[in-house]
Structures are given as structure tokens and as C-alpha cells.
Structure 1
Amino acid sequence: MNQVYTQVSIDQRGVANLVLNRPEVHNAFDDLMIAELIQVLDSLAANDQVKVLLLSANGKNFSAGADLNWMRSMAEKDYQQNLDDANELALLMHKLDKFPKPTVAMVQGAAFGGAVGLVACCDIAVASDTASFCLSEVKIGLIPAVISPYVMRALGERQSRRYFLTAERFSADTAKTLGLLHEVTTPSELTDKTNGFIDNLLQNSPAAISAAKTLLHNIYNRKISNNVVAHTTQAIAEIRVSAEGQEGLSAFLEKRRPGWLPHTSQDK
């Protein structure tokens, strides 16, 4: 695939770094960038080598949201063309949200508009204390519609009422308090703090992590019913008899490293 707006690398640990790479326009995205991101996510999801996805960005800012020229062009198109365009952005958010491996967002600078949606779709989000966020759509006569399910899940309905309507800018510390971010650190420590989360993820069973993500999606915000209880009991029974479930339990009982971790000289 010919990548124009993104950079992708996979290190020896299986960490795929997907980098937004339009720093000259603050990584603002348009229809071409959205299409490329969808293709990249599909490719990485199908790659068995990938164990963790890191979403980051080149330049001063994570992403300024929608590209101004793209928005100008959409204003000249009809309803169906705008619907098709919105469906592509919705597909991107869905694929990131449902990515089968753990996802980590590393945020610096501004994350505005749709970029807040990207952060909300990741399992873990870390930002520098100089980062700032804004759901700015109503300032230009629009609404944060496509990203709203993911942002509201992170912020809650009450706080979303405030920030969807005021379009006020808020700090990384506020974003952490609201639930959008998990950690805030200094710019110089951002990479190390993010790698700390990645190191923790890499210690765990890849199959169990994927199953845990599926579990979260299946039971979130559902009433605790007989169906939900049945789903959870089936899920734990299935993972217990799976190959990695058996290996993990055996390794724990035998006080050894599980097979999904690299062996060391101490294992001999």
C-alpha cells in the first residue's frame, strides 16, 4: 500500500506504531487520510505479528481535526455525498474502537474535533501536560456527531453536554479528570510513560487481551440480565480451555514464564 499521510513501523516486540504524518497542516485529516487510515488498520489487524497498536503523530500537534479545505469541499456537495463521507469517518472510528489488539494513543499538542474521537477510541490514552483538547464543531455550525458515541462513553453524558455545547478548550489535566486520558506527563517523559503501558500489555496473553476487549464491548452499558451473566460464564469457560488459557494457568502453577513471553537464561 502506498502510504501518503501515515507512517507505519512494527518493532521486534510486535508494537505497530501508526503515525499521523501531515505535520504541515497539524495532522488535520481529509477523505484521503481517512481512507488510508482504514486501509492501514485493516492491514495491521490481520497481521499476526502485531501485538499492540500505538497511535501517535509527527509534529507539534496530534491532530487539528478536519482539514479546512476538505470541509470547504464538503459544503459544496449534496446530502448523499456528505452522508457517504460521514460513513467513512464512522468506519474509521469503528475499526479503531474494535481493533482486535490493545491500542494506545500518545498525544502531544492540540487534539481537536475528530481527533478527540480517535483518542476516545483507543484503549489507553497518554498525553503531555501541554496537550489541549476541544470539541470545536459548533463554533463553525457543525456538531461532533460521528465521534459522539465514543466521546460520550469516555466523558459521560453530563460532561459531554458541557463540552459539545460550549466548544471550550480544555487541558490535558482536565481531560484526565473527565476520563478521556489515563495519564498526563511532561513532554520529555511522554514516550517513556507510554512505553510503560506498552510494556505492561506485552506481558499479558495476546489471546486473553483480545478476548477481554471483546468482553468489554459486549457487556458495556447493558443491564445485568440472565443473558449477560450467561455470556460472561461462557466467556470464562472458553478462555480456560483455550491454548493460552491452559498455558497461562500451567505457567502460574509451575512458577515459570508463560509461552507467549520470550525465554530468558533464567528459564533454563
Structure 2
Amino acid sequence: MSYQYLELTLQQQVATVWLNRADLHNAFNTQLIEELDQCLQDLNQRVDIRVVVLAGRGKSFSAGADLNWMKQAGQAAHTDNQADALKLAKMLNTLATLKQPTIARVHGIAFGGGMGLAAACDICIASTQAQFATSEVRLGLAPSTISPYVIAAIGTRQASRYFLTAERISAEQAKHIGLVHEISHPEQLDQQLDQIIAALLQGAPQAQAASKQLIQMVSQHPLTESLRIATANHIADIRQGHEAKDGLNAFLNKQTAPWIVASTK
């Protein structure tokens, strides 16, 4: 599939989705949102793709929503305005629930929806020069659709500050509050990315998908008897799968797990 505002590169088992609206700092409009949602859905169906990286062309990761698009949406009929917002919410959910591990590679600014993209990925690495912000209140808006992912990443207390002040958050501070996992000097960012990808490719793909589901299940519910039963059922099901059998046999026999062999072809 060809894209106007995305560039998809494939290297062995890694897909990199480049936001490619560099002249506008990769700001969202309806078409970019739809293209990104479709691209992610397509990748979710591919068994040959083990890791998905989200990155931005040009000077920025993403400046968030295109302000002209937001203005037009606000002036549209309520049903059209709501439908537009639902497309953004759907795209973020597609990203957050992708079966493959996802990595946000952030350089430059990640404001508003751009910060939402970073938070919706499983792992976020950032250049030391990266900056983040939930900047919506300074435009008379609120970080509505990105809020579930940002709050999950930084917690309610930090969101209480940054949603309201819209302060710029440095890469170092973003790591401190839990949004970013690793920061690197710009020239070392891709080396850091490669190290994380290498670590991910050591894991079994179905087990990683199940682990992502486990995080969603556990993080959204209190520790009750039903949750304890659900987690027990979860591991019982996984133990009966072929990956667990292959992986345990490989470890006990001091052999390489089959998915690791596949990743190096």
C-alpha cells in the first residue's frame, strides 16, 4: 500500500513506520490518522514482523494535531466532529493493542498527540534533545483521546501537573516521570534502538503478545480473587503452547530457542 504521509521500511523482522509530514512537523490530519491506523492494522496481521518502530522524518517526532484540521473539526457539525475524534481514538488504540512490541523513537518535539503516540507504544526511547508536552490547554483544548495512554505512562499525579500547565518536559524529566525508558545523545539514538530490538528478538513472539495482554488485564483491575484466577488461567494456557514447550526444552538442553534462530536469518 502506498501512503502520502507515511513511509514504511522493512528490515528483516523489524518494521519502521515513519511519520512523513516533515514540513508540518508530522502534525496529524485526517488522512495521516487513517493511513497510520491502516498501516498498523496491516502489520498486526503479519507473522514475519516481530517489532514495530514508530519514528518521525524531519526535525520532529510529531507536533500533535494540525491546528487547521482541529479548527475545521470544531466548526463542523457535532456528529462529524465526533466521528473525526473517534478516528484518532481508534488509531491510538490500534497502536496500543498491536500484538508486536512497539518502540517510539522520539527526536525533536512530541507535543499533544505526538506525546500520546509515544505513550501508546510499549517502549519509548528519546534523544536528549527531545521535548514533550500535553499542550492542549494553551489552545483551549484538553488531551482527551491521548489521556488513557499518557496517564498510564506517567500516573495521575504527574498528569495533574502537566495536563494543566502544558509545560515542556525535557527528555531527562520525561524519563524521571516514567514516559521515556532510555535517553541517548542524538548520534547514539539508533544504537540504543538496535540494542532494544535485539533484546526483543530474543523473546518468543506469542509469549510477548500474551505478556502485552497480561499487562492490560492486570493494570486495569484491582487484585481480587477473579484477577488471581485470570492470571493463573493465563499462564496455564501459555504453558501448553508450542513456544513454551520449545523454549523450555531449548533451555534445559542448552540449545537456542527456535524463534531466535529465525530472527537471524
TM-score normalised to the size of structure 2?
0.97
Q: Deviations over 1:44-82 (max 9, x none)?
A: 000111100011111111011111221221132122111
Counterpart Cα distance in 2 of 1:164 and 1:79: 25
| Percentage of identical aligned residues | 43
Please give the secondary structure, in 1, of the residue aligned with 2:53: strand
- Alignment of 1:5 onto 2:5: yes
- Alignment of 1:167 onto 2:166: yes
Which residue number corresponds to residue 96 of structure 1? 95
Which residue number corresponds to residue 109 of structure 1? 108
Which residue number corresponds to residue 133 of structure 1? 132
- Residue identity matched to 1:4: Q
Alpha-carbon deviation of 1:250?
0.2
Which residue number corresponds to residue 74 of structure 1? 73
- Residue identity matched to 2:9: S
Counterpart Cα distance in 2 of 1:200 and 1:232: 25
Alpha-carbon deviation of 1:263?
7.1
Q: Deviations over 1:156-199 (max 9, x none)?
A: 11110110011111100000001000001100000000111110
Which residue number corresponds to residue 225 of structure 2? 226
CA RMSD, aligned part only? 1.2
Post-superposition, which runs of at least 4 consecutive aligned residues in structure 1 deviate over 6 A?
none
Q: How does 1:39-54 map to 2 (within 5 A)?
A: 39-54=38-53
Please give the secondary structure, in 2, of the residue aligned with 1:104: strand
Alpha-carbon deviation of 1:223?
1.2
- Maintained 8 Å contact 1:257/1:263: no
Structure 2, unpaired ranges of 5+: none
Which residue number corresponds to residue 63 of structure 2? 64
Structure 1, unpaired ranges of 5+: none
TM-score normalised to the size of structure 1?
0.96
Alpha-carbon deviation of 1:37?
0.5
Alpha-carbon deviation of 1:147?
0.6
Counterpart Cα distance in 1 of 2:74 and 2:223: 44
Closer/same/farther in 2, CA of residues 263 and 176 from structure 1, 3 Å limit: closer
